[in-house]
């Protein structure tokens, strides 16, 4: 199993919207590195759901239920989506400020490449972030 982080502006697509839908495709990715990360996702992989924009915090955990396929929202075969389901909301959001303050997370792509919308997360980083949400 692999671990990932996906980012969404809560004003555009929030955790609560995702939960109401119950399952959704992760679309709108228009960056090649993020697209390549989508192509590496497999069913069962766990995903941190991050609110970017004004909030800047991890708010929930999702799971990949369908690996990549062409993005049905556009007529351009360069772009792909995966299907995700919400697993649970974090008891306490983990802010970017908290993540940056944790020395053990210094290699996290969220800190090194803050503009990337879909990124891998090492298992130990994933576990540490989740443990900070309790």
Using a pLDDT cut of 90, give the percent of the chain over it: 95
- The tens digit of pLDDT for each residue in 4-22 reads 999 999 999 999 999 999 9
- The tens digit of pLDDT for each residue in 74-87 reads 999 999 999 999 99
- The tens digit of pLDDT for each residue in 22-78 reads 999 999 999 999 999 999 999 999 999 999 999 999 999 999 999 999 999 999 999
**What mean pLDDT, rounded, does the chain reach?**
97
What is the per-residue DSSP string for 57-117?
Answer: EEEEEEEEEEEEEE-TTSS-TT-EEEEEEEEEEEEEEEEHHHHHH-GGGTT-HHHH-TT-S
pTM (two decimals): 0.96
Residue 49, pLDDT score: 98
């Amino acid at each position: 199993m692999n671990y990932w982080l996906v980012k969404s502006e809560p004003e555009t697509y929030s955790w609560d919207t995702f939960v109401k839908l119950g399952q959704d495709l992760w679309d709108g990715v228009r960056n090649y590195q993020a697209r390549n990360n989508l192509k590496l996702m497999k069913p069962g992989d766990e995903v941190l759901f991050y609110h970017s924009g004004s909030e800047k915090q991890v708010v929930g955990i999702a799971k990949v239920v369908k690996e990549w396929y062409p993005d049905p929202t556009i007529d351009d075969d360069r772009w792909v989506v995966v299907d995700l389901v919400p697993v649970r909301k974090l008891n306490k959001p983990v802010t970017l400020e908290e993540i940056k303050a944790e020395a053990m997370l210094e290699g996290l792509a969220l800190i090194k490449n803050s503009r990337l919308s879909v990124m891998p997360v090492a298992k130990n980083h994933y576990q540490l972030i989740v443990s900070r949400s309790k």
